[in-house]
C-alpha cells in the first residue's frame, strides 16, 4: 500500500510542499525583522523631529535633518494627543489628500490597526504631545505578499501539470480504444466474409429455405458490428438523417427481442426531425441505451423515448422503469470498466459517450435517476 502511494509524483508534491512551507516561514521571519527595523527607524525619525524643534547647535540639527530626510519609504501621520491630525505627514500621496478630504483619516485608522503610535511628549503640564502613526513600507508589503504570489504560481504549475497528464492519459486511452476496436473489426472481418460465402451456398439447397435467411440476418448483424468497430478511431462520415425514423428502427429491432412483458413507446415532436449523424454509430448508441434499460428492468416494465426539436438542438430522452442508479454511481456510469451486471466489461456506455461527444459533437448524460423508479438518459444533438 505504501509503495502504491509513494511514487515520483507524491515525492515531487512533498518536495514542493516543503519548499513552499519553508518559504512561507522564512518570509514571515523577514517580515517581522523588517517591521522591527522600521519601528526603530520611525523612533529615530521622531527623535529627529524633537531635535529639530529644540536644536541648540548646528551639528545636531544637521544630523536630525539628515535622519528626517532619509525616510522616503515609511508613511507617517502626525496627530496631537487627542488623535487630531495636525496636517504634518510624509510619504503619503498629496494629490489623493487634496482630492479626498477623508483620505488622511482613513490612512490614520489603517495605520492604527497596523502599529502602535510613537508618542513624543512636548509638555508635561499642561500635557501636550504629538503622536506619530506609521504604516507599512512597500518592501514590507512585498515580503508579506510574496508567499501568496508563490503559492499562486505553484498552484498554477500543479494545475498545468495535472491538465497535461490528464490530456496525455485521455490521448493514450483513446489510442487504446481505437486500437482495440480496429483489431476487433479486423479479426471479425475474415470469418464474417467466410460465413457470407457459406450462407450463399446454403441458399442453393432447397431444404435450407427457412434456415438460410435467418442465418443471413445474423451474418448481416455481424457485418454491422464489424462496421461499427471499424469506425471507432477514425472520423466517420456524417449524413443528414431523420432522427425519428432512425430511433424507431432501433426500437423495433430491440422490441422483437425484448419479450412481451416490456412496453415500448416513442413520442416525437415531429415525424421528420433532421440531424447529421453516422447511422451505424448512432444506432449503436440507441441500442446500448435500450439494452441497458432492459437489463435494469430485468425484462419487465416500460421504456419511453421522447424526441424534441429545438432551435439549435435535438433532445432524445430514453426513460426506463427499472431499478435506477444510486447517487454514488451516477458520476461513474460512463467510466470504462464500471458495471453493475454480473457479466460484461462495462464498456457500452463508455463507447456511447465517445460516439456522441467526439464523433457527433453532442452530449449524453443521466438526466434523472431514482432507485427502484427508473432512469432517464438524455442525448443532445446539434442541428
Residue 21 confidence (pLDDT):
80
Mean pLDDT over 205-229 rounds to: 79
Q: How many domains does the chain have?
A: 2
Mean pLDDT over 93-104 rounds to: 87
Shared domain for 253 and 376, answered yes or no, is yes
Q: Output 189 or 119, whichever has higher pLDDT.
A: 119
Shared domain for 131 and 253, answered yes or no, is no
Cα–Cα distance between 20 and 14 in angstroms, integer? Answer: 10
Mean pLDDT over 39-57 rounds to: 81
Mean pLDDT over 40-59 rounds to: 79
Mean pLDDT over 324-338 rounds to: 80
Task: With residue 182 as reference, give the H or E element that holds it.
Answer: helix 138-203
Q: What is the pLDDT of residues 141-174, one digit of tens each?
A: 888 788 778 778 877 877 887 788 778 777 776 6
Supply the angle between the helices 138-203 and 211-231 in degrees, to the nearest 10. Answer: 160
Residue 2 confidence (pLDDT):
46
- Kindly state whether residue 196 falls inside one of the protein's structural domains: no
Mean pLDDT over 355-371 rounds to: 90
Question: Which grid coordinates are listed for 195?
Answer: 460465413
Q: Is pLDDT of 46 > 90?
A: no
Give this prediction's pTM. Answer: 0.52
Show the domain range for 367.
Answer: 236-382
Band the pLDDT of 7: cuts 50, 70, 90: low
Shared domain for 115 and 244, answered yes or no, is no
Shared domain for 240 and 375, answered yes or no, is yes
Please state the three-class secondary structure of 72-109 as a single string: CCCCEEEEECCCCEEEEEECCCHHHHHHCCCHHHHHHH
Q: Is pLDDT of 253 > 60?
A: yes
- Kindly state whether residue 229 falls inside one of the protein's structural domains: no
CATH number at residue 278: 3.30.565.10
Final residue of a structural domain among 136, 156, 172: 136
Residue 313 confidence (pLDDT):
94
β-sheet bridge partners, residue 314:
309, 381
Longest distance between any two alpha carbons in the chain, whole Å: 135
- Kindly state whether residue 198 falls inside one of the protein's structural domains: no
Shared domain for 125 and 13, answered yes or no, is yes
Q: What is the pLDDT of residues 231-245, one digit of tens each?
A: 666 667 889 999 999
In angstroms, the Cα distances linking 89 to 68, 93, 249 are: 12, 10, 85
Is residue 80 within 8 Å of 130, Cβ to Cβ? Answer: yes
- Kindly state whether residue 192 falls inside one of the protein's structural domains: no
Choose the weakest-confidence range: 86-95, 143-152, 265-274, 287-296.
Answer: 143-152
Shared domain for 247 and 367, answered yes or no, is yes
Residue 177 confidence (pLDDT):
66
Residue 222 confidence (pLDDT):
82
Cα–Cα distance between 253 and 250 in angstroms, integer? Answer: 5
Amino acid at each position: 500500500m505504501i509503495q502504491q502511494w509513494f511514487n515520483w509524483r507524491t515525492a515531487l508534491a512533498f518536495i514542493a510542499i516543503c519548499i513552499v512551507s519553508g518559504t512561507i516561514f522564512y518570509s514571515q521571519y523577514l517580515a517581522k525583522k523588517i517591521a522591527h527595523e522600521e519601528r526603530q527607524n520611525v523612533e529615530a525619525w521622531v527623535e529627529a523631529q524633537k531635535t529639530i524643534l529644540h536644536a541648540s547647535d548646528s551639528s545636531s540639527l544637521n544630523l536630525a535633518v539628515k535622519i528626517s530626510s532619509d525616510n522616503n519609504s515609511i508613511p507617517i501621520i502626525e496627530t496631537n494627543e487627542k488623535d487630531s491630525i495636525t496636517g504634518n505627514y510624509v510619504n503619503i500621496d498629496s494629490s489623493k489628500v487634496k482630492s479626498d478630504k477623508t483620505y488622511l483619516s482613513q490612512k490614520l485608522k489603517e495605520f492604527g490597526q497596523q502599529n502602535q503610535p510613537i508618542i513624543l511628549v512636548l509638555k508635561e503640564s499642561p500635557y501636550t504631545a504629538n503622536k506619530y502613526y506609521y504604516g507599512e513600507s512597500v518592501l514590507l508589503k512585498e515580503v508579506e505578499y510574496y508567499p501568496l504570489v508563490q503559492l499562486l504560481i505553484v498552484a498554477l504549475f500543479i494545475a498545468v501539470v495535472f491538465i497535461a497528464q490528464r490530456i496525455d492519459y485521455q490521448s493514450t486511452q483513446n489510442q487504446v480504444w481505437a486500437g482495440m476496436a480496429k483489431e476487433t473489426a479486423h479479426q471479425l472481418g475474415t470469418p464474417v466474409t467466410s460465413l457470407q460465402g457459406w450462407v450463399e451456398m446454403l441458399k442453393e439447397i432447397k431444404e435450407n429455405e427457412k434456415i438460410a435467411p435467418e442465418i443471413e440476418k445474423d451474418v448481416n448483424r455481424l457485418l454491422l458490428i464489424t462496421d461499427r468497430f471499424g469506425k471507432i478511431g477514425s472520423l466517420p462520415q456524417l449524413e443528414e438523417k431523420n432522427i425519428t425514423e432512425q430511433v424507431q428502427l432501433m426500437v423495433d429491432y430491440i422490441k422483437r427481442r425484448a419479450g412481451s412483458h416490456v412496453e415500448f413507446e416513442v413520442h416525437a415532436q415531429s415525424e421528420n426531425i433532421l440531424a447529421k449523424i453516422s447511422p451505424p454509430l448512432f444506432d449503436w448508441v440507441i441500442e446500448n441505451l435500450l439494452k441497458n434499460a432492459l437489463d435494469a428492468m430485468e425484462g419487465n416494465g416500460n421504456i419511453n423515448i421522447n424526441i424534441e426539436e429545438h432551435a439549435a438542438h435535438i433532445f432524445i430522452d430514453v426513460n426506463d422503469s427499472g431499478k435506477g442508479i444510486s447517487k454514488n454511481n451516477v458520476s461513474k456510469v460512463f467510466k470504462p470498466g464500471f458495471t453493475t451486471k454480473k457479466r460484461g466489461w462495462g464498456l457500452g456506455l463508455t463507447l456511447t459517450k465517445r460516439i456522441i461527444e467526439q464523433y457527433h459533437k453532442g452530449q449524453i448524460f443521466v438526466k434523472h435517476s431514482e432507485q427502484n423508479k427508473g432512469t432517464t438518459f438524455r442525448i443532445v444533438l446539434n442541428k
